[in-house]
Amino acid sequence: MKERGEKIFWGLFFILGAVFILVGRLGYLEGVSVVTLVFAVLLAACFVKSLIHLEYTGMLFSLAFLAILFDEELQITALTPGPVLLAALFGSIGLNILFHNKHRHYHACHKRDPFDRADCETVNVEDDSCISYGTTFGSSIKYINSDDFRRADLSCNFGAMRVYFDNAMIQNGNAVVNLRVSFSGVGLYVPKEWQIVDHTSASFGAVNEKNRAKTTGTPVLTLTGSISFGGVEIIYI
């Protein structure tokens, strides 16, 4: 649940804050300002949060910014800021290419539970009920035309994506869009009648809504997955 993830994040934030205060009082962080400590705690919490969700971009850039903050203490000033940020960028690209499939795959669904990833098996032709779509280093537009939409797995790395759901129908009351967004902007165009429930995990990213209208509560589209250094915009049409 998103609420639980937020509790974990802020819990870690304050625990790490307490640790840094104690370490600072012991003299191990002499000369480090309070502002630097606050940023360090926030970055450390972001790293742990990204690690839990295997968000490679959030993990590497959190470490990169921590290295920049403490480059003198770590005696790595020759590596900051440019080289360490570039290393984080290329590392993020490599890990996302290796572990997040950037090609299109289409799935056929056999069960009614849209949250169950096991209900889809890869086939060679597109099935409108369960769809996987990805973009890396580019921009793309996808139209979802389905009379029984259940799930979409969307991956966008260092690019832009627009996905239109205005011709899709949710028959059983709920469907899922699972997002993997890194250094990208994603626009989801959905009918005004749909209810959006946001369960995504964000590291230096956010989900925003435009033209939101009142709904009756059904059908429900649940957003899951992760957003790192990017944004997802919900546009009601």
Taking a C-beta distance cutoff of 8 angstroms, is the pair 162, 141 a contact?
yes
29/12 Cα distance (integer angstroms): 20
Q: Of 139, 140, 119, which Cα lies nearest the Cα of 129?
A: 119
Question: Ranked by mean pLDDT, which of 96-110, 157-171, 199-213 comes out on top?
Answer: 157-171
Domain positions in the chain: 2-99, 105-236
Kindly report, residue by residue over 10-34, the tens digit of the pLDDT.
676 677 677 766 766 666 666 666 6
Kindly report, residue by residue over 161-203, the tens digit of the pLDDT.
899 998 888 988 899 999 988 888 899 999 988 999 998 887 7
pLDDT greater than 70 at residue 97 = yes
3-state helix, strand, coil in the chain (%, to 5): 35, 30, 30
Taking a C-beta distance cutoff of 8 angstroms, is the pair 212, 221 a contact?
no
